[in-house]
Amino acid sequence: MSQVAAEPPALVSGWAPLRRPVFRALWLAQFVANTGTWMQTVGAQWLMGDLGGGPFAIALVQAASTLPVFLLVVPAGALGDILDRRRLLLAGQALMCAGAAGITATTALGRTTPASLLALIAVTGVGQALSVPSFQAIQPELVSRAEVPQAAVLNGVNVNVARAIGPAVGGLLIAATGPASTFAFNTVSFFGVLAVLYRWRRPRDHRPLGAEHVTAATRAGARYIMNAPRFATVLLRSALFMIFASCLWALLPAVARGPLGLGAGGYGALLGAVGAGAVAGAFVVGRLRRAMGANTLVAASTMAYGAAMVVIGAGPRGGLVLPALVVAGAAWIGVQSTLNATAQALLPAWTRARALAYFQLVFMGGQTLGAIGWGVLADLAGIRAAFVIPGCALLLTAVVTARKLRLARTSLDLSRTPFWPEPAAAPDSDSGAGPVLVEVQWRVAQSNAEAFVDAMVHVSRSRKRTGATLWGLFRDLSDPSLYVETFTVATWHEHLRQHLERGTVWDQELEAAARALTVAGTGPVVRHLIWADAPRSAPDQ
């Protein structure tokens, strides 16, 4: 199994990533695992109802699987950038397998309680937290840059085809043999993913300065997010969608058991309708994104999803619910695949796993908070209100975000390039000395002063994304053509990462735009200053 080398043309087939051997093998193995996960979801939600749980208790099944991800995905993302992602994925998948095996055993022995069911589901959630950021981060390693959007769609298809098949098969197994069989299938389903990951010979990461400490890596990821407004927009759009959209996944079992009066097989058919819509949407989402643009596609899909929820909540009847669920499935993949592909395209390799962890944090946090909130609302005001209110909120959100939170272009060159020369006469590269003050002097003609200051705003974000903590730009009062840029970095080692590991072609372009405005024949003059420890006082005489 080898790494992808060549970059294909910009317009590629929606199925092109499946020509990549590693991507294809992992995609098929994940399909089996996702099918097992959805079978387990049906079994767990149905078992919770059999154990006497109401709508709120059923909604807690989803919360139990997503809350660990919400709590742990950020440090897990940092681990994905500092450890070998393949080994971390193996550990996460093994933990999910162990959690599913525990549910299988307790259910087969008749020892399952609501508390034990939620606890073991939470164990699988911990494994998922370890896996999700790294799974997303390795996609650009398995396909070319131009194929990343198609890979995101195919991964969405994977989940949603599994959602179509898993619940239907799970419902049949529950009716025939009981929920324990769904848990057993899920346990076995992880073996394929483990086998593919074990065989994959992933190249070693290039880290000239060695691995970062998990705490420093987590801080670096947060700093990157705070200074990447394009990526922050994706996060906010995802949060506003998920907090309302999560109602459907949390309360659909209650709709099936309550207003529709369906059994386990009927509930599986409802989820199958969602999956069928997602599969249908996958065939057109790529063409729609090229024709409409990502921003319009996400807005239109959000409106379609909200309208489907209003239809389901207004008067649950099978003749309306099934078509509405098909629409919801297509709209779901339109939103999620577009936001996911946009997020991946906005991140450089050095921070991809930890930044995508925040994407998953928003995704799972929205599901967790939404599941709890809409479950409480359903208990207090009924199923209808719990669907209609978030559905109307999505309609409003679609209109507002399309105008105020537009998705940015993703054609940025984020490949790594150490465009700064390594500083000379400096402390040893392993030195934790600091903080470091970097001073850069620029000569700018007054005619270019305003444009230079504007260009330096973008440079400041670049500095902060790669490690700077404080940044400023000053003009010399006695020499108006002299501008002094200053920024601090926590340690000398961290500053060397700016020089050697974190710079991208895009960062280089931002600095080049500022350089182009300087006086001809001059260049930035750089000084490095390190914190001076106060001299020790002589002992008292």
- 482-489/525-530 β-pairing: unpaired
Nearest to 64 by CA among 90, 101, 34, 103: 103
* SS3 assignment, position 477: coil
Residue bearing tokens 């501008």 = 483
The CATH number of the structural domain formed by 436-530 is 3.30.70.100
CA torsion sign for 229, 232, 236, 242 is: positive
8-state DSSP, 498: I
Separation CA 176–CA 174 (nearest Å):
5
Strands 482-489 and 468-475: antiparallel
Residues β-bridged to residue 484: 441, 474
- DSSP letter at 521? T
Q: What number of H helices and E strands is found in the chain?
A: 17, 4
Q: Where are the beta strands (DSSP E) in 373-423?
A: none
Looking up tokens 């087939």 gives 13
Enclosing H/E stretch for 439: strand 436-443
DSSP string across 65-127: HHHHHHHHHHHHHHHHHHS-HHHHHHHHHHHHHHHHHHHHHHHHTT---HHHHHHHHHHHHHH
Q: For residue 1, with 0-12 CB atoms within 10 Å meaning exposed, 13-18 middle and 19 or more buried, which class applies?
A: middle
Where in the chain are all domains bearing CATH 1.20.1250.20? Answer: 16-203+212-404
Cis (ω within 30 of 0) for the bond into 167? no
Instruction: Show the tokens assigned to 313.
Output: 């909540």
Measure Cα distances from 329 to 71, 281, 285, 297 in Å.
Answer: 27, 8, 12, 14
Structure tokens at 385: 């209100």
Residues shown for the chain: 541
Query: What helix, strand, coil percent values describe the chain, rounded to 5?
Result: 70, 5, 25
CA separation (Å) from 156 to 97, 147, 149, 150, 333?
Answer: 22, 14, 11, 10, 6
Structural contact between residues 277 and 330, judged by C-beta atoms closer than 8 angstroms:
yes
**Cα 204 to Cα 148: distance, rounded to the nearest angstrom:** 21
Tokens of 472: 């400023």
Confidence (pLDDT) at 5: 37
Q: CA angle, 139 as apex, 138 and 140 as ends, to 5°?
A: 95
Using CA atoms, how far apart are residues 93 and 99, in angstroms rounded to an integer? 10
- Where are the CATH 3.30.70.100 domain residues in the chain? 436-530
Q: Which of 213, 221, 216, 195 is nearest to 83 (CA)?
A: 213
Written as tens digits, the pLDDT of the chain (541 aa) is 334 433 344 455 667 888 888 989 999 999 999 899 888 888 888 788 778 777 777 778 877 887 888 788 888 888 888 888 888 999 999 999 999 999 999 998 888 888 899 999 999 989 988 888 888 788 878 888 777 777 877 887 787 677 667 777 877 788 788 888 899 999 999 999 999 999 988 777 666 666 677 788 888 888 998 999 999 999 999 999 999 998 888 888 788 878 888 876 677 778 778 878 887 887 788 788 888 888 999 999 999 999 999 999 887 665 788 899 999 989 998 898 889 888 888 888 888 888 888 888 888 778 778 878 888 898 888 888 899 999 999 999 999 998 889 987 767 888 888 777 777 656 655 567 878 999 999 999 999 999 999 999 999 999 999 999 899 999 999 999 999 999 999 888 888 888 888 888 999 999 999 999 999 888 889 999 988 864 444 444 4
The CATH architecture of the domain made up of 16-203+212-404 is Up-down Bundle (1.20)
Q: What pLDDT shows up at residue 194?
A: 94
Please tell me the predicted confidence (pLDDT) of residue 154.
Answer: 80
Please answer whether residues 261 and 269 qualify as being in contact, where contact means their C-beta atoms are separated by less than 8 angstroms: no
Q: Do 358 and 236 contact (CB within 8 A), yes or no?
A: no
pLDDT at 541 (0 to 100): 40
> Which structure tokens are listed for 349?
């390799």
First to last CA, the chain: 73
pTM of the model: 0.75
The closest of 59, 38, 185 to 114, measured between CA atoms, is 59
C-beta of residue 328 within 8 angstroms of C-beta of residue 309: yes
The residue to which tokens 């372009």 are assigned = 509
CB of 490 closer than 8 Å to CB of 405? no
The residues pairing with 468 across neighbouring beta strands, listed in sequence order, are 489
CA-to-CA dists, residue 361 to 112, 137, 356, 501, angstroms: 29, 15, 8, 26
Please give the structure tokens belonging to residue 300. Answer: 């239109």
